[in-house]
Amino acid sequence: MKTGVKVGVIFAFVLFTLSAYLLSMSGTHAEAQPAAAPPIANTAAPAAEPTAPKLDCAGCHGPGRSLPYLAGEKFHKDAHSAMDTSIHAKVAVRGKPAANCMDCHSVNGDMATIRAADDPRSTINRANISQTCGRCHNDPALMAEKGITNRPFLAYQESVHGKALSHGNMKAAVCSDCHNSHAVLPATDTNSTISKFNVAATCGKCHGEIAGQFTESVHGMSLARGNYQSPNCTDCHGIHGIKAQKESRQALGLTSCSQCHDGVRLSQDYGIPSERVSSFQDSYHGRALKLGSDVVADCASCHGIHNILPSNNPKSLIHKSNLVTTCGQCHLGAGENFAIGKVHLETGASQDIGSQGKNWVRTIYLLLIFGVVGGMLVHNGVIWYRKAAAKRKLEARPIVRMSVNQRVQHWLLLTSFIVLVITGFALEYPETWITWLTGNSESVRRMIHRGAAVIMMVTGVYHIVYLLALKEGRLWAYDMLPRWKDFQDLFQNFRHFVLNKGERPKFARFRYADKAEYWAVVWGTIIMGLTGLMIWFKVGIFGFLPRWAIDIAIAIHFYEAILATLAIIVWHFYHVIFDPDVYPINWTFYDGRMSEELFKEEHEQAYEDMKAEEARIAEAASTEDGESDSKEEDKQN
């Protein structure tokens, strides 16, 4: 009996334990599997499109679940470790938005779109990686929040790599080839694949032979010694916007080199000769390259592209033993004598025969140019002045064209305008020859310019008073008003000189050319004066204006100055100097007088009016004299 009870108790315990185990397994299975859907009634309605399943990895693979944890040792261990060190993870730790696994491996977080990298539909397929990165890095607003720009993405799309990829070349570099897939690190991190000292190795994953040449070059060896100033691949080729060689030959062959070799930094820090690019540009090769030649030698033609070595290295293309071969690439048949000398001729302290010879030739010819040509100018200038003055004295010039008042105004306008032109363009172009006339001091040029401007504006104000207050000025203003006859004169002048038809028009006191120039001066003085004051007092009087208004004023001031200068040279100088009727010069600006012959030639209508007035006055005087004689006779009788 006791034995039977013991067996029954043991049997009951085993049964209870087994039941509990089965129940627990059933609960786990129910948690892991979704509940079965109820049977769907068979209806005539068409079946709806299947929706993407809403999968939840953490439901099965989360911490404490029955299946292995995805972030644990059995799943994506290397990827998670690399991701934890990346710039994206560090940004996320700071509580800011950053790319995570789902952002790159799925479309809009839909886990059904996670596919293997070799699947063309995968977001991490080589053909799609740039677009995947572009979801964030081509978003201007998002990039602005990070303090960067979307320009790198746009530059990649236009680069040789981006274009090759768009044409189906799966060997072209994509974002992850240079930046890594998960361990994306900033360039400032020494472990980054895009660190200054690691770029060559990164590019070498595709361009192995070129990277080997670069490593052995003077630049590569300098980088290996830790010299941060030495260029790497991206310093010459660019970072994201790398172009094909045929698209950027000049940039690769000259512009890139000038970043370092046309300044004083290399000379000061390492004793490397400076101004190499500028001296090359002064050579035949440099000038031909500027004119767009596709075959002329550039820096890389002689020094090499990636295998650049110092001239004392026997492997260098510019080593004395290799110069004949290097020059012979373009100059077929070049011998040793052809290769003797230097391409980068200098005028400084260089001791080679070519540079010293060029320096002496330059000095001698500068003295000859200034001495001989300067002497010619003095010689001819003195003779021209004496002959012109003699002609002026011998010529009868009874017609008064400008009063003393008008001539003073003209002289003030003339001198202030010339000073404004010289100092203005010297301020705009401080490295040109025109600055020699005003010295090297910017502050002095600025003060002279403003002084001349004040003289011109004061003259302009006085001219307004002159026109209003004086009878002479009011008559000037009246005669300067445009009239319909001016347009008729212009048309008739065109017919006479261009079409060789009809007679020359008879001009009044002021021709249409005189009126056009006068009102242009009025307009130009107002515009230049107003914009000049805006630039001068941009902080004080004109401080109420936005900065863009001052920028527009500067542009107007500059282009109006060009227009005024050219108008004076082309229009005014012709009428007072180069016109055959007045050559060598119209002396009216000097003494206000003009010959009767020239006055009749240039202002025939005014001449006829003057003669008619003289005849009227003479007739009136004659009549008055006759009446006086008659009265005298009557008195005598």
What is residue 462's predicted lDDT score, i.e. its pLDDT?
Answer: 97
User: Of 422, 416, 419, which is closest to residue 456 (Cα–Cα)?
Assistant: 416
Position 458 confidence tier, pLDDT thresholds 50, 70, 90? very high
Share of the chain above pLDDT 70, in %: 83
Mean pLDDT of 422-447: 84
Distances (CA, A) of 200 to 160, 175, 177, 490: 18, 16, 13, 72
How does residue 99 score in pLDDT terms, banded at 50, 70 and 90?
confident
- As a whole number of angstroms, the distance between CA 355 and CA 258 comes to 21
Give the CA-trace dihedral at 579, 585, 589, 592, to 10 degrees.
-90
Q: Token digits for 58? A: 């953490």
What does the pLDDT read at residue 48? Answer: 45
Helices of type H across 229-352: 233-237, 249-250, 256-261, 265-270, 276-281, 284-290, 299-303, 323-328, 336-339
Q: Is the pTM of this model over 0.95?
A: no
Contact 277, 284 (CB under 8 A): no
Q: Give, as one character, the DSSP assignment of residue 38.
A: P
Q: Which pLDDT score, from 0 to 100, does residue 12 have?
A: 59
Check residues 433 and 325 and name the one with the higher pLDDT.
Answer: 325
Residues ≥6 apart with Cβ < 8 Å to 535: 550, 553, 554, 557
Residue 98 and residue 89 in contact, taking contact as beta carbons nearer than 8 Å: yes
| pLDDT, tens digit, 9 for 90 and up, residues 235-250 | 888 899 888 877 666 5
Two tokens, residue 572: 């005014």
Domain ranges of the chain: 78-185, 243-344, 347-394, 399-615
Task: Select, from the ranges 62-71, 90-99, 260-269, the one with the highest average predicted confidence (pLDDT).
Answer: 90-99
Structure token pair of residue 300: 């890389």
- Please tell me which residue, 480 or 28, carries the higher pLDDT value: 480
Residue 193 has pLDDT above 90, yes or no: yes
Closest CA to 401 of 474, 476, 486: 476
pLDDT-based confidence at 460, cuts 50/70/90?
Answer: very high
Of residues 375 and 629, the one with the higher pLDDT is: 375
Rounded Cα distance between 605 and 509, Å, is 8
Per-residue model confidence (pLDDT) at position 20? 53
Phi, psi of 412 (to 5 degrees): -65, -40
Per-residue model confidence (pLDDT) at position 629: 63
pLDDT score, position 347: 46
User: Helices 404-428 and 547-567, interaxial angle, to 10°?
Assistant: 120
Contact 170/117 with Cβ under 8 angstroms? Answer: no
DSSP H/E element including 594: strand 593-594
Q: Confidence band (pLDDT; 50, 70, 90) for 1? A: very low
In this prediction, what percent of the chain has a pLDDT beyond 90?
A: 44
Residue 580 has pLDDT above 50, yes or no: yes
419/345 Cα distance (integer angstroms) = 38
Q: CA quadruple 301, 307, 311, 317: dihedral positive or negative?
A: negative
- Residue 268 exposed, middle or buried by CB count within 10 Å (0-12, 13-18, 19+): exposed
Give yes or no for residue 17 having a pLDDT over 80.
Answer: no
Segment 142-172, tens digit of pLDDT: 888 888 899 999 999 999 999 999 999 999 9
pLDDT digits (tens, 9 = 90+) for 198-207: 999 999 999 9
Model pLDDT for residues 489-544, shown as the tens digit of each residue: 999 999 999 999 989 999 999 999 999 999 999 999 999 999 999 999 988 888 89
Lowest-confidence region among 115-124, 266-275, 321-330: 266-275
Report the distance separating Cα 602 and Cα 510, nearest Å: 9
Q: What is the pLDDT of residues 584-597, one digit of tens each?
A: 889 999 999 999 89
Res 437: pLDDT? 77
- pLDDT of 25 > 60? The answer is no
**What integer is the mean pLDDT of 91-102?**
86
| Most confident by average pLDDT, 23-27, 182-186, 617-621 | 182-186
pLDDT at 240: 92
Contact 345, 280 (CB under 8 A): no
Tokens found for residue 10: 């043991």
What pLDDT band is residue 100 in, cutting at 50, 70 and 90? confident
Residue 262 has pLDDT above 90, yes or no: no
Q: Specify the pLDDT at position 520.
A: 95
* Residue 46 scores a pLDDT above 50: no
Residue 386 burial class via C-beta count within 10 angstroms: exposed 0-12, middle 13-18, buried 19 and up: exposed
Whether the per-residue pLDDT at 550 is higher than 50: the answer is yes
Contacts of 203 (CB under 8 A, 6+ apart): 210, 211, 233
In this structure, of 262-271, 456-465, 470-479, the range with the lowest mean pLDDT score is 262-271
For domain 399-615, give the fold. Answer: Fumarate Reductase Cytochrome B subunit (1.20.950)
